[in-house]
Amino acid sequence: MANVQLRDVHKSFGATHIIKGIDLEIAHGEFVVFVGPSGCGKSTLLRMIAGLEDITSGEISIKDRVVNDLPPKDRGIAMVFQSYALFPHMTVRQNVGFGLKINNTPPAELESRVNEAARILKMENLLDRKPSQLSGGQRQRVAIGRAIVRNPEVFLFDEPLSNLDAALRVNTRAEIAKLHNDLGATMIYVTHDQVEAMTLADKIVVLEAGKIRQVGSPLELYHKPNNLFVAGFIGSPKMNFMEVEAVSSSASGVIIKSADFTEQRIPVAKGNVKAGDKLTLGIRPENMRADTKGDLKISGKMELVEHLGHETFVEAKTKSGVSFTGLIDGETLVKLGQDMALSFKANDCHLFDAAGEAVHRLKVPEIVHA
């Protein structure tokens, strides 16, 4: 079972502390995505799993074996890099077969495994070309082929789609998903693009400044963000945050008010919220509607209107100077500068305490298994 475990992993470059204690369990066959803003340490963490960076302290094990002191080749991993990292003087065939050749694989077996990888990736016709004769997408495919051919327990991807254009990115993303499905291997994937994270992952690990902020399935992170950082990071357009004050709290929820809202009960677990606490209310733009049928109403002057056809994106500012955005139905015609009220349901609201930690919602949409 190719599981991966990280126990209190730290990394420092001199005095700079990059990774500050990571504990993580990755089960066999899982597709895990590390996501976070640039500089959060996600690539460093991946390179540490690969064995390309030393571990300052802590323990990494692959397949229940501590690999801290093992060189990359003995860890049963393969890695795909952002810039493809193809050796320019070798043909595709030599590039793909390089790792096998080093490990003294018999020529016949090498040949058949390279051909098998080429078949899986549908690149048989490219085998005798040099990397300079390939397009970006083809190069990325060769890079993946180089990983597949080694038959690794764990695949590591370091932002593999960043250098591709948008259309190719969608295609290759689908191919990677299919590959995971076919091979059933454990995959760890680093990206700063949350769409890639949401579409590919079984489990997303959100990192910020060298620490894990939340681990969970894509929908879990979307519906139950543990903190402001995750709430703001997952979901596009970004969740609206508004300053509110707690009026009272009970088992059925917390009653809040602000300059822009009348008092309203939000169904969240009471936790240790007390009357008078400063809280942050979070509401996703896609939960806004263009009428006043919701539980909470907010009105403001339209500062940006983008009609996208099937939906309309608006950005507005209330009288008290709070900006908010909404993703509303495409039929409502909105004019710039117009005063308009949007509303949303209390059930869709998220509340965060002064420390930025979530006050858990009582009613989370059920995830329906189709």
Which parts of this chain interact with other proteins (CB under 8 A)?
47, 50-52, 64-66, 68-73, 77-79, 81-89, 98-99, 102-103, 143, 146, 150
> Min. distance of Cβ 105 from other proteins in angstroms?
11
> Min. distance of Cβ 325 from other proteins in angstroms?
38
Looking at the Cβ atoms of 7 and 238, the one nearer to other proteins is 7
Looking at the Cβ atoms of 146 and 361, the one nearer to other proteins is 146
> Min. distance of Cβ 66 from other proteins in angstroms?
5
C-alpha torsion sign, points 234, 240, 243, 247: negative
The partner residues of 329 in beta bridges, in order of sequence, read 311
Half-sphere exposure of 19 (CA within 13 A, CB side): 26
Looking at the Cβ atoms of 43 and 249, the one nearer to other proteins is 43
Nearest to 301 by CA among 310, 291, 288, 314: 314
> Min. distance of Cβ 56 from other proteins in angstroms?
13
Looking at the Cβ atoms of 74 and 357, the one nearer to other proteins is 74
What gap in Å lies between CA 317 and CA 320, rounded to an integer?
A: 8
What gap in Å lies between CA 45 and CA 42, rounded to an integer?
A: 5
> Min. distance of Cβ 192 from other proteins in angstroms?
17
Looking at the Cβ atoms of 54 and 329, the one nearer to other proteins is 54
Looking at the Cβ atoms of 87 and 336, the one nearer to other proteins is 87
> Min. distance of Cβ 71 from other proteins in angstroms?
7
Are the C-beta atoms of residues 140 and 148 closer than 8 Å to each other? no
Q: 136: which residues sit within 8 A by CB, 6+ positions away?
A: 163, 164, 165, 168
> Min. distance of Cβ 149 from other proteins in angstroms?
10
> Min. distance of Cβ 157 from other proteins in angstroms?
12
3-state percent breakdown (helix, strand, coil) of the chain, nearest 5? 25, 35, 40
Looking at the Cβ atoms of 99 and 356, the one nearer to other proteins is 99
What three-state secondary structure class fits 369?
Answer: coil
Q: 26: which residues sit within 8 A by CB, 6+ positions away?
A: 3, 4, 5, 32, 186, 188, 203
Looking at the Cβ atoms of 85 and 362, the one nearer to other proteins is 85
Question: Exposure of 278 by Cβ count < 10 A (0-12 exposed, 13-18 middle, 19+ buried)?
Answer: exposed
Pairing of strands 65-66, 211-216: unpaired
Are the C-beta atoms of residues 6 and 23 closer than 8 Å to each other? yes
